[in-house]
Structure formats: structure tokens, C-alpha cells
Amino acid sequence: MLKMFQYRIYPTKKQQNVLDSQLEECCWLYNHLLEKRRDAYEQHDKGLSCYEQQATYTILKQERFFRAEEKALAKAQRAHSQLTKGTPERRKHRKVVARVHERTKWKRQNFTHQHSRRIVNQFGIICVEDLTVNRMLHNHCLAKSISDAAWSAFFEQLMSKAEEAGYQCLKVNPAYTSQDCSRCHHRQKMPLSERVYHCSCCLFSIDRDLNAAQNIKTLGLQSVGLSLEAPSL
């Protein structure tokens, strides 16, 4: 009589960490997409299709690998703190923490170089807000995201690449760009929590960031005496 044996395969610690990370990312993605669908329905009384949300995956991929590196750094620092000071193991493990810092720095530089190059290759005139990044870092709610995106380095690379290509990169006073209606120029208060601009004067509705971008473009082109149509390449 044959005996039946059952085998249960247990994942290694490394495999379990990978599975946990994937499950965490899937959970975050599900909640993010659900929130976007709910916001779209509340603001426009219209849901988002599967294809519309799939189109945003490439943007989500870019966001920020920065957070993934943040987790890797926290893990490496925890392991480092558990080692006894002055031991060879702790001195050797210091290189692991340094590699995570180096990898994060390289990814951030690569991110800013690629996006600044893409913008310069696409547009002949670029208008940006003349932001004081150091002062914005005092906002504890935005400081980490601003540092991750490396705004100062991005602006410097954008200006440098535009100058090398013979194009214009114009800085615009950021005052009221989020509060002014890009259609009728009516000004109203806009708390940061409101992501859609609803003009109380002309009843125009537009995404908050897109409205500000239109105002920045208008101010930038007017400063050099050009029409409101920015030339593209």
C-alpha cells in the first residue's frame, strides 16, 4: 500500500520580504486607485475607467522609487544600530548604509536629468515659478516630497539645458498663480486641500495645478511680449 507524503514549502526570509513588499505595494495601489475614482465621482459625477487609470501607471512608477529607497535605508539603519559599536561587523555594515545613500542620490539625479531633458526637447519657451525652495522646506507636510523631487537641482538643470539649446526658460512671480482664474482672472482664496479650482465669477472649473500652470504660462509669455500660444518644437 502506497503512503502519501505531503510537503510544505516555506519561503526563505529574503523571499518572504519580497512577498511582503509586493503585497504592501498592491495594497497601496488599490487604495490609491480607489481614492482617485471616488474623487472623480465627487468632483465630476463621473467614474474613471480601467484604461484611464492604467494610463497613470507610468507616473506612479516614477514616484517616487524614492519611497522604496527610504524603506531600504530605514532597514539598513536599524540593522546597523543593532551591531555593537567598535566591532568589525559594524564598520563593515557602514558601507551598506552608504550604498543605499549613494543609490538614492543616483536615482534622484537620473530623475531630474531625464525630466529636464524631456521638457527642453519638447518646448522652445519654458515658464516656471520663481520659488524659494529653502523657505518651502519649512513646511513639514511638504518638506520630504520637495527634497525627494530635488526641486532646486531640477530648476538648475532645466535652466542650464535650455540655455545650451538656445531656448528661453523664464521665471515667473508665483504670487496668486493658484488663486487667479486662468479664464477671467478673478481672484479667490484656494486652500491647499482644494484640488479643483471652481471660479465663483465665471463658473469655470479646472484642476488646481492646471489652472496655476496656465497662469504661469500667461505671465511668462507676457513678460517677453509674446502671444499666449507657447511655441513647441
Q: Which three cell numbers stand for residue 120?
A: 527642453
List the catalytic residue out of 69, 129, 148, 180.
129
Which of 42, 45, 164, 229 is flagged as catalytic? 45
Residues forming a β-bridge with 69: none
At a CB cut-off of 8 Å and minimum separation 6, what does 188 contact?
A: 179, 181, 199, 200, 201
Query: CA angle at residue 157 from 162 to 114, to 5 degrees?
Result: 95
Cα dihedral 202/203/209/213 (nearest 10): -20
Selected catalytic residue, list 130, 207, 209, 229: 209
Tell me how far apart the alpha carbons of residues 59 and 190 are, in angstroms, rounded to a whole number: 26
CA dist., res. 65 & res. 164, Å (int): 30
DSSP for 44-63 reads HS-PPPHHHHHTTHHHHHHT
Interior angle at CA 157, CA 118 and CA 126, nearest 5: 60
The answer to whether residue 156 is catalytic is no
Is 207 designated active site?
no
Q: Cβ distance 232 to 123 under 8 Å?
A: yes
Is 209 designated active site?
yes
Give the other-Cβ count within 10 Å of 154's Cβ: 19
203: left (phi over 0), alpha (psi -120 to 50) or beta: left
Catalytic residue ranges: 45, 129, 209
